[in-house]
Amino acid sequence: MSLLRAPSAFAADFKELALPFADGVVASLRAGDLVYLSGTLYTGRDQTHRRLCALLDQGKDLPVDLAGQLLYYVGPSPARPGRVIGAVGPTTSYRMDSYTPRLLDLGLLATMGKGARSLPVREAMQRHGAIYLAAFGGAGAFLSRCVLSVELVAFADAGPEAMFRFEVLNFPAVVINDVAGRDFYEQIGTGDTPS
Amino acid sequence: MKTVTAARITEAVRGLAIAAAHDLEPDILDALVAARDRETSPLARNVLELLMRNADIASRDEIPLCQDTGICTVFVTLGQEVHIAGDLGAAIQEGVRQGYEEGFLRKSVCDVMTRNNTGTNLPAVIHVELEPGERCRLRFLPKGCGSENMSGLKMLPPAAGIPGAVDYIVETVVNAGPNPCPPLVVGVGIGGNFEKAALMAKKVLLRPLGRPSEREDVARLEEQLLTRMNREGRGVLGLGGCNTVLAVHVDTFPTHIASLPVAVNIQCHSHRHKEVDL
């Protein structure tokens, strides 16, 4: 299997971006931009968020410094022997909404999942100059090829809900909320008004 | 009288679980191709092609189509002339356990009070229906909860009528937006009572895609719903175009004179289902 082969499913133009983002990159992105992400990101979903916020409640340090990072909402399927990881598509983001503003307060710069965010999350993103991206839902096998390595960071007992660090290469996504407060989902017309 | 052993059922369910996670059935693959061919938005068209490529990689490399390999529903149609040698329910559960462990599928089931993962993807939800004869059919429907969470049920007043039901069904799908990973398969149960409507909505997802209801007025309703959803929806993954929904399947049942139950079960584009006759 050619693990390193860049995805080429898209005819559209993608911006190639390094993670963590260099200064000024996040502010330069606009809702609707298609991006290929390469570099380091962190993962977490429901249980990881619950536990991160519980640590904050107790005044404790988080297992990693999230400042400047991208947090991807995913619960991977297990890796077969010899593989890096199983399927790694996005999970639905609204379930993280109640936790997200606290993490943005810590300097988290980008979140990635699927589906729209709540108004409080969008306001917090604007306040902090952060963005939200959607990965392609239900493309978990395809996206698996974009993950070069996986390291457990915390909450191993949460199984698929543990927190991991991924090294990714050309991981495709679309910018939904930009720093100016635009929302790509809202810009999309309905079926009879092609965008 | 035909005998089916518990061991055979376990082995069959194990196989269905692994196959369902990796290989889409021709009905959903054909529906995705048809959607791509009629798609008007370039981005949506690209995404549909990505999804086809995803299906190809999943099947070839044995990586699940989606990391959410679901909570399992098993529909058993059991002939009254079939003798099950052993414990039917336990045999099915064991098959799910083996399939999820040995197939490297994600264990996504947790205790509802503690949220602790059961670690086995158990229990599966099992529905058994008896019929005359010697058939023993297992239908396997693992379902991710991005789509399941967007489903709904409403007990409408009879005065709302079918137009009221249509509004509720369309609203449920359109309001779900990008969350359930459109293009969707939408199962609808109208009538019966509270649980009958929900069960119909789930079970009708298993009708081969594109085959209309045998009842002419219901088939027309399916057409109407499909057209409205694709007109009012926001397309593939909510990123635009004319393919919010691939198919709408409606099942009906007589109801109480005071009632109009309507259930909508939403299924994502990764419509995984497998069946076997033992």
Residue B181, chain A, CB below 8 Å: the answer is yes
pTM score, whole prediction = 0.95
Chain A residue numbers with beta carbons less than 8 Å from the beta carbon of B41 are 194-195
Cβ A185–B68 below 8 Å, yes or no? no
* CA pair distance B109, B107, nearest whole angstrom: 6
- Which chain A residues contact residue B51 at CB under 8 A? 136, 138-139
d(CA B91, CA A160): 26
Q: Is the pLDDT of residue B182 over 50?
A: yes
Task: Supply the residues of A annotated as catalytic.
Answer: 49
Give bridge partners of residue B139 from the DSSP assignment.
Answer: B75, B275
Band (A9; pLDDT cuts 50, 70, 90): low
Across the interface, of B63, B119, B240, the residue whose CB is closest to A86 is B63
Name the residue facing B146 among A137, A184, A190 (closest C-beta).
Answer: A137
Specify whether the CB–CB gap between B119 and B107 falls below 8 A: yes
Tell me whether B142 touches chain A (CB under 8 Å): no
Nearest CA in chain B to A9: B50
What's the pLDDT at B209?
Answer: 95
User: If you measure CA to CA, which chain B residue comes closest to A85?
Assistant: B63
Partners of residue B105 in chain A, C-beta under 8 Å: 77-78
State the alpha helices, DSSP H only, in chain A. 25-28, 46-57, 100-105, 119-128, 140-144, 184-187
- Residue B110: name the closest of B120, B100, B99, B96 by CA: B120
Q: Which residues contact B17 (CB under 8 A, 6 or more apart)?
A: B72, B95, B96, B98, B99, B100, B103, B105, B140, B142
Residue B179: CB atoms within 10 Å: 24
B192-241 pLDDT, tens per residue? 999 999 999 999 999 999 899 999 999 999 999 999 999 999 999 999 99
pLDDT of A137 > 50? The answer is yes
Q: How close is the nearest chain B Cα to the Cα of A158, in Å? A: 7
Q: Which residues of B touch A114 (CB under 8 A)?
A: 146, 178-179, 181, 237
User: Going by CATH, does the domain composed of A15-180 fall within 3.90.550.10?
Assistant: no
> Please, which residues have CB within 8 angstroms of residue B47's CB and are 6 or more apart in sequence?
A136, B236, B237, B239
Could you tell me if the ipTM is greater than 0.85?
yes
Tokens representing B246 are 């691939």
Give the tens place of pLDDT for each residue, A106-134: 999 999 999 999 999 999 999 999 999 99
Neighbours of B185 (CB within 10 A): 27
Domains of chain B in sequence order:
2-20+65-143 (3.30.360), 146-275 (no CATH)
pLDDT tens-digit map of B153-173: 999 999 999 999 999 999 999
- Interface residue B224 vs chain A (CB under 8 A): no
| pLDDT greater than 80 at residue A10 | no
Question: Cβ contacts (< 8 Å) between B108 and chain A: which residues?
Answer: 75, 160
Largest CA distance in chain B: 57
Q: Return the domain boundaries, chain A.
A: 15-180
Q: Which of A137, A190, A191 sits opposite B181 (nearest CB)?
A: A137
Whether the predicted pLDDT of A3 surpasses 50:
no
